[in-house]
Amino acid sequence: MAKAPTGRTPAPNGPFRVRRVEFPDDRSAAREILSIGCDPAAVPYLLPKSRMIAVRIAGVPAFAANLLKQEALAVGADAVVHRGACTLTVDRSDVLLLATPGQMGPLTEKLRIQVPTLRAVGQAIEGYLKSAEDGAPKVFRARDRIYPIGERTYLFGILNATPDSFSDGGFFASSEPALRRALEMESQGADFIDVGGESTRPGHRSIDAQEEMDRVLPVIRRIRKESSIPISIDTSKAAVARAALSEGADVVNDVWGMKRDPGIAGVVAESGAGLVLMHNRGTEAAPAGAPARPAESGGASGPSDVLSSVVDYLEDCLDAALAAGISCDRLVVDPGIGFGVSPEDSMRMIDGLGVVRSLGRPIMIGPSRKSFIGKVLDLPVDRRLLGTAASVAYGIARGADFIRVHDIAEMKEVARMADALRAAGRSGGAK
């Protein structure tokens, strides 16, 4: 696998995945602690420690999880394990390691002389810490375009060249109105135009690659002729992606994370395009609503499960992309709001973006006019503008770098204000 500062790494000599966990507040920390499966009574004692470095190690054998906790305590750190690990009533447990930078070094030193399983855990932790030294992602690259990450939020303007999309199906199904809408979004401040030719709404009709190309390629040609704005092709088919990139698209936005057509990886690698990988609970990987982890793995079913599922799924997608030769600075991850998940889980995804941030890649969210907004506000699709605005603002505060929306003019103002508030918080005061 290509070596890159992705913020995540597999263990060099073992199966243990290690990832950094970020806690914007105590509520997020408590949720992550409980997701391990520990005794809830321990949460008040563990919360102060969660303000240290927090890394999560997946699938540690129960006996090794207990030993790891003992070694952590010996250096003044701590490790959260599943309550069943102590009694060996579960086979494995995720471990949430809580340590200061000064404690992490002595701990990994101690693990080097432990049993082989703990040596492998220690090597995984050391490998992760080394790969994370470069910190957060600095840029996103799409062909020869470079977008600094962390300076401001970027907007993808949705352009559905479809007859059956849930919000604007049929409005822009021909190239002339689609071009007008693209140019309008550009004038309103869109950073990308995201062109899609196949609806992904619930119950949509699947179409073949030729029909999808017939819808999107004329639109892309018209936009590229009239504008230099970056174009994203919203597709899960390698043939469509290749054709769109040949017509001037810069990014592939795959709502199936390359799981429907793995050939997209090669297309993107060859072209140097950017790639958005989305988590989708509707894939063959797991039916919607299924627990993210089996009980014996130490994961807990419930509200936190969806975030663990998102991270595990996207981690697999990132590994596949890197293995195909796509550089990490061309990758963006999307938790997949509204795709095969409940309205409650969609909101948890936005609230839990700090967990997704552990993947070390920029984050996109697409809350625009989604059904979770309709459920909360009891409003139809055409009256969800303010609900979308609230979701966008909160998503940016939680760590989103890219926002995919219909209403560019309004969401541009929301993003600018959210960015200013976030910058003020970082600097300790407004400029």
Amino acid found at 214 = D
Cβ-based neighbours of 203, under 8 Å, separated by 6 or more:
none
- pLDDT, tens only, 290-308: 333 333 333 334 445 788 8
Q: Which of 370, 384, 398, 412 is catalytic?
A: 370
362 and 343 in one domain? yes
- Last residue of one domain, picked from the residues 110, 134, 158: 134
Nearest to 349 by CA among 391, 401, 389: 391
Cα 105 to Cα 77, 124, 369, distances in angstroms: 11, 13, 47
Q: Which residues make Cβ contacts (< 8 Å) with residue 372, sequence separation at least 6?
A: 337, 338, 343, 344, 346, 347
- How many domains does the structure of the chain reveal? 2
| Cα(242)–Cα(10) distance, integer angstroms | 31
Residues 212 and 69 in one domain: no
Stretches in the chain below the pLDDT threshold 50: 1-13, 166, 169-170, 283-303, 429-431
Residues composing the chain = 431
Task: Indicate if 212 and 100 belong to the same structural domain.
Answer: no
Last residue of a domain, one of 134, 158, 175: 134
CATH number, position 280:
3.20.20.20
Is 188 in the same domain as 73? no
Predicted TM-score (pTM) above 0.95: no
| Residue 246 and residue 147 in one domain | yes
Q: Is 348 among the catalytic positions?
A: no
Q: Does 40 lie in the same domain as 149?
A: no
Confidence (pLDDT) at 292: 38
Coil/strand/helix, residue 66: helix
Residue 370 known to be catalytic: yes
Helices (H), ranges, 132-246:
175-188, 209-226, 238-246
Domain co-membership, 311 together with 412: yes
- pLDDT at position 48, please? 82
Which of 75, 110, 134 is where one domain is finished? 134
Catalytically annotated residue among 19, 293, 404, 412? 404
Q: Residue 249 sits in which domain range?
A: 139-427
